[in-house]
Homo-oligomer: A and B are copies of this chain.
C-alpha cells in the first residue's frame, strides 16, 4: 500500500492503488473524492498562483540604471536688495550636474560682500563683546563678515515660479543577466511629440518631460509650500518587465513621492538647504564672497525594477515543490479520514491492530 496510511492514494491515481482486500474496506468513493478535491485545490494553486500570477517559471534580475536630467526655464525676480534680476539654469541648478538627481533653487538668503575679519556674532569667539546693533550686544567673532542672518526666509519663496520649469529626464536601464537594455524615451515616440509633450499620468504617461509643479502636486504636496524651506522629492521610475513578452511591453512607470519629513514635530533642519559661496577678489587682491543659503527641491530619480524571463531552473524548482505539495494531499486526506470521518475509531483500530500484528514479529527475520 502507498504511503498515506493505507487509505489515501498518491499523486496521479490513488484509486488504482489497492492490492490486498484486507485494507480495501476503508477505500470508498468518499475517500477517493476527498483526495481528488484536495489534489485539485493544490494543483489549481500551483498552476494558477505560482505560475500564472507570480510567474514562477521565470528567472529574475534587478535593474542597472543611468540617469541624466536637463531643466529648462527662466525666472525673474524683483527685490529691493537685488533689483530686477533674471535667473537661468546656470544660476539655479547647483551643482550644474548630478548623477541621479537634480537640485532646483526655490528660495535664497543672500549675504553679499563677506570678507574674513572680526564682527559681532557667536561663532569663533574673540572674547570681546561689541554692539551687534543699537539695542543688542553680542560677542565679537572671527568669521566671514558680515555674518549671515538666516532667521527669516523670504516669503513667498523667492523663485516660486520654478513651478513652471520643466525637466527632461533621460533614463537608460540594463538587465545584465538578460543583456536587455532600454531607454525611457521609447522608440515609437516621435521627435515632434517630444518637443511639445508634458508628462501627464493619464494622457501622456510616457512623455519624459515633467513640469516641476505638476510633479510635486502629483505627490499630493503644494509646490509653493515646499518652495519656502525646500525638500526632497522622489521621482520613482519602475521598470518591471516580463521579457517573455514583446520588447514594446517593457515600459517605464512614473510615480512621485515626497522623501523628506514635513511633520512639524520633527523640525530639526526642516526642508532642504545648503550653503554655497561665490568667491571674488577686489583690485587689491582681497578675497570676498557672496554666501548663499540655498533652499530648494532636490529631485532624486529612484529607478527600480525587476525583469523576469523564462528559465528552466526556477521552473523546475517550482514544479518540484508543486509536485511535493500534491503529496501533502495524501497526508491531509489521511488526517481527515482518521479524525473526522464517522467510522474513524473502527478504521484506527483496524490499522493499529494490523501494525501490531507485524511488529510483534520482532526482529527475527523469519517469514511468519
Show the binding face of A for B, using Cβ within 8 Å.
Answer: 1-6, 9-30, 32, 45-46, 49-50, 54, 56, 62, 64, 66, 68, 70, 74, 76, 84-86, 88-91, 93-101, 103, 113, 116, 123-124, 142-144, 168, 170, 172, 174, 176, 181, 183, 185, 187, 189-191, 194-195, 232, 234, 236, 238, 257, 259-261, 265-269, 272, 274-283, 285, 289-291, 294, 298, 300, 302, 304, 312-313, 316-325, 327-328, 330-331, 334, 343, 346, 351, 354-355, 358-359, 361-363, 365-368
Contacts and interface: CB of A to CB of B under 8 A. Distances in A.
Contacts of A365: 25-26, 343, 346
22 contacts: A3-B9, A3-B12, A4-B10, A6-B16, A15-B355, A18-B354, A21-B368, A24-B358, A24-B361, A27-B358, A56-B313, A86-B142, A90-B276, A94-B97, A95-B97, A172-B232, A176-B236, A191-B265, A195-B268, A317-B321, A319-B325, A319-B328
Contacts of A6: 13, 16-17
Contacts of A361: 24-25, 27-28
A47 to B, nearest CB: 12
A238 B176 contact: yes
A209 to B, nearest CB: 9
A108 B110 CA distance: 27
B283 A280 contact: no
Given A25-B366, A86-B143, A16 B100 contact: no
Given A18-B358, A321-B324, 14 more contacts: A1-B19, A6-B17, A11-B331, A18-B354, A28-B359, A28-B362, A86-B143, A88-B123, A95-B96, A99-B100, A172-B234, A320-B323, A320-B328, A323-B327
Contact of A97 (B25, B267, B298): B298
B168 A86 contact: no
Smallest CB-CB A-B distances: 4 pairs: A3-B10, A320-B321, A324-B324, A90-B277
A351 B16 contact: yes
B325 A12 contact: no
Contacts of A143: 74, 86, 88
Residue among A74, A143, A317 with max Cβ neighbours from chain B (10 Å): A317
Contacts of A30: 363
